[in-house]
Amino acid sequence: MKPITQESRYGELWSREESVLAFELYCRIPFQKTKANNPAVKELANLLGRTTASVARKLGNFGAFDPSLQKLDISGLTHTSKLDREIWDEFHADWNNLVWEANLLRSKFGESRPVHRAINPPSGPSETTRLTKQRVHQAFFRDAVLSSYEATCCVTGLTVPECLVASHIVPWSENERFRTDPANGLCLSATFDRLFDAGLMTITLDLTIRFSSQLVRSQNLLTHDLLLRYSDCPIRRPNRFMPSLERIEWHHKNSFRE
Q: pLDDT tens-digit profile of 61-87? A: 888 887 776 665 565 555 667 888 899
More reliable by pLDDT, 30 or 155:
155
Whether residue 10 has pLDDT greater than 80 = no
Backbone angles phi and psi of 11, in degrees to 5: 85, -5
State pLDDT tens for residues 104-141: 998 888 865 444 333 444 445 566 677 788 899 999 99
State pLDDT tens for residues 142-187: 999 999 999 999 999 999 999 999 999 999 889 888 999 999 999 9
Q: Using CA atoms, how far apart are residues 228 and 149, in angstroms rounded to an integer?
A: 22
Q: Using CA atoms, how far apart are residues 233 and 216, in angstroms rounded to an integer?
A: 15
* pLDDT (average), residues 1-29: 76
Whether residue 251 has pLDDT greater than 60 = yes
What's the pTM value of the predicted model, to 2 decimals? 0.83
Taking every pair of C-alpha atoms in the chain, what is the biggest distance, in angstroms? 78
Contacts 24+ apart (CB under 8 A), 119-127: none
Which residues, including other chains, have CB under 8 Å from residue 13's CB and lie 6 or more apart? Answer: none
* pLDDT (average), residues 233-246: 93
Helix (H, G, I), strand (E, B) or coil at 186: strand
Q: Using CA atoms, how far apart are residues 29 and 39, in angstroms rounded to an integer?
A: 11
Which residues pair with residue 211 across a beta bridge?
Answer: 201
Q: Which pLDDT does position 232 carry in this prediction?
A: 95
Q: Which pLDDT does position 4 carry in this prediction?
A: 47
Domain chopping of the chain, boundaries = 13-113, 137-254
Whether residue 233 has pLDDT greater than 70 = yes
Q: Which pLDDT does position 157 carry in this prediction?
A: 96
